[in-house]
Amino acid sequence: MALSLFNTLSLAVEEFVPADGKTVRMYSCGPTVYNYAHIGNLRTFTFNDTLRRWLAYRGFVLDHVMNITDVEDKIIRKSMELGIPMCDYTRKYEEFFLEDMVTLRLEKPERIVRATEHIHEMVELIETLQDKGLTYDSEGSVYYRIARFPGYGKLSHNDFSGIQAAARVDNDEYDKDDARDFVLWKSRKGEEPYWDAPFGAGRPGWHIECSAMAMKYLGSTLDIHTGGVDLAFPHHENEIAQSEGATGKPFARFWVHCEHLHVDMQKMSKSIGNIYTLRELVEMGHSPEALRFVLMSVPYRKKLNFTIESLKGAQTSIDRLRNYKLRLETDKLADGQNNEIEKLCQQALAKFEASLDDDLNTAEALAAMFEFVRETNTLLDQGAFLAGNRASALDLLKRFDRVFDVIETRATENGLGDEAIEALIAERTAAKKSKQFARADEIRNQLLEAGIVLEDTKEGVRWKRK
């Protein structure tokens, strides 16, 4: 089966091929940088990463753009409260975000673009919409007149025809003609940051940045546009109105949305106090890979219920894969090649690939791996796994890690060097031989404290860094 994705436009899983057959032009709504990203944000960005990696695995070239929203109401309010220039404030959180991406092993999109560096493009886009008669001015601000855009609601599958005739909506804050209308350009207020524009000083509305930047870098029609489910309406619906209103062409062929993450069955919220950040989890002693594993273990279209328990389970699962890899690399195996095992490798790879092709079914892909690990561990125990089978099993792990990226460690050498460790192991082996088990255990504990775990196998001692 070919690579397919669930498209919010059609509410169906469709086969995906980039328009030009080769390069995937993809846009992802990025973070608003006014705070640390929480694990819910991170789930969506991890989904972007999985999608990226799988597209690349399938041989497509990526041209992936992600925006950084660095001008927005909350940002303005917070930076003004703190008396810090807006750009200093946002730059700090942008850096934290990029650090988190590295920690979580999220691949960097080809381009990460800031809203404040594309005001010019936004102004031009608004002018185009004005020229087409799709806007109206109100007290220095510019609004989109949705009644002029047929098809509004096609992404969120809302039928707005009923309220189409609605006359001027009462609203203290905005002076809109229709409830669906939204602001493209907000007139300057007080000491807020502003930019000059033909229609007056002010700042861009929330939605315009994505349309302007996506089209600037990727053209009028994107292959894929991604974001969290909550963005489908109104944000993405409005992006469609802006972009298609201006170009008359479909804005994105595929809209792919990632479901939310809950914590302990509840929505994350400040009042409940169940908002976690990557940094907090790492401080608590959990590994970034464990979080990555948890986030990837539930397919992106299902709500994910995060618990600390699941994080611990994820770590155990990762350790299992790492132990298996170590075993493949270090076990003494008899010469030859067992064809049955080669067949198992092929089957596991086929299931792994088919699962991810099927709308990124990461849960099933994981199952394929674990099934393979269990089966071949048994064969390893039985001595049926031969030296000639090593390569294909390791290759399978490598392919798995091209997407999941949780097996390879980034642990750096700490304190003890390899030679010192080998020396201590030799001493312990000698102690064991002369039945001095107390001394042997003492050495093992000493190494454990240094982060070295020993395993006694039939062929001798195997060690690994924790």
Partner RNA sequence: GGCGCGGUAGCCAAGCGGUAAGGCAGAGGUCUGCAAAACCUUUAUUCACCGGUUCGAUUCCGGUCCGCGCCUCCA
Residue 367 found at the interface with RNA (CB under 7 A): yes
Q: Which of 119, 215, 290, 298 binds RNA (CB under 7 A)?
A: 298
Residue 168 found at the interface with RNA (CB under 7 A): no
Residue 366 found at the interface with RNA (CB under 7 A): yes
Give the range of 94-102, 195-203, 221-229, 282-290 binding RNA by CB under 7 A. 221-229
Say how many residues touch RNA, by CB under 7 A.
73
Q: Which of 229, 384, 387, 421 binds RNA (CB under 7 A)?
A: 229
Q: 3-state DSSP call for residue 450? A: coil
Touching RNA, residues 97-156 (CB under 7 A):
156
Residue 61 Cβ vs RNA, minimum distance, rounded to whole Å: 25
Residue 21 Cβ vs RNA, minimum distance, rounded to whole Å: 27
Residue corresponding to tokens 């000059």: 196
- What is residue 195's DSSP assignment? B
- Asked if 215 contacts 247 with a C-beta cutoff of 8 angstroms, the reply is yes
Q: Which of 77, 120, 312, 343 binds RNA (CB under 7 A)?
A: 312
- Asked if 404 contacts 332 with a C-beta cutoff of 8 angstroms, the reply is no
Q: Which of 310, 330, 347, 409 binds RNA (CB under 7 A)?
A: 310
Q: Give CA–CA dist 290/310, Å, rounded.
A: 9
Residue 320 found at the interface with RNA (CB under 7 A): yes
User: In this complex, which beta carbon is closest to RNA, that of residue 23 or of residue 361?
Assistant: 361
Residue 230 found at the interface with RNA (CB under 7 A): yes
User: In this complex, which beta carbon is closest to RNA, that of residue 74 or of residue 92?
Assistant: 74
Touching RNA, residues 369-408 (CB under 7 A):
370-371, 373-374, 377-378, 380-381
- Asked if 16 contacts 254 with a C-beta cutoff of 8 angstroms, the reply is yes
Structure tokens at 18: 């980039």
Enumerate residues 6+ apart whose C-beta is below 8 A from 65: 26, 27, 28, 109, 110, 111, 112, 113, 213, 214, 217, 218
Residue 1 found at the interface with RNA (CB under 7 A): no
User: In this complex, which beta carbon is closest to RNA, that of residue 247 or of residue 377?
Assistant: 377
Could you tell me which of 136, 126, 129, 92 has the C-alpha nearest to residue 209?
126
Q: 3-state DSSP call for residue 63? A: strand
Residue 340 found at the interface with RNA (CB under 7 A): no
User: In this complex, which beta carbon is closest to RNA, that of residue 194 or of residue 233?
Assistant: 233
Could you write out the DSSP letters of every residue in 127-193? Answer: HHHHHTT-EEEETTEEEE-GGG-TTTTTTTT---GGGTT--S---SS---SSTT-EEEEEEP-TT--
Q: Which of 22, 108, 303, 402 binds RNA (CB under 7 A)?
A: 303
Residue 261 found at the interface with RNA (CB under 7 A): yes
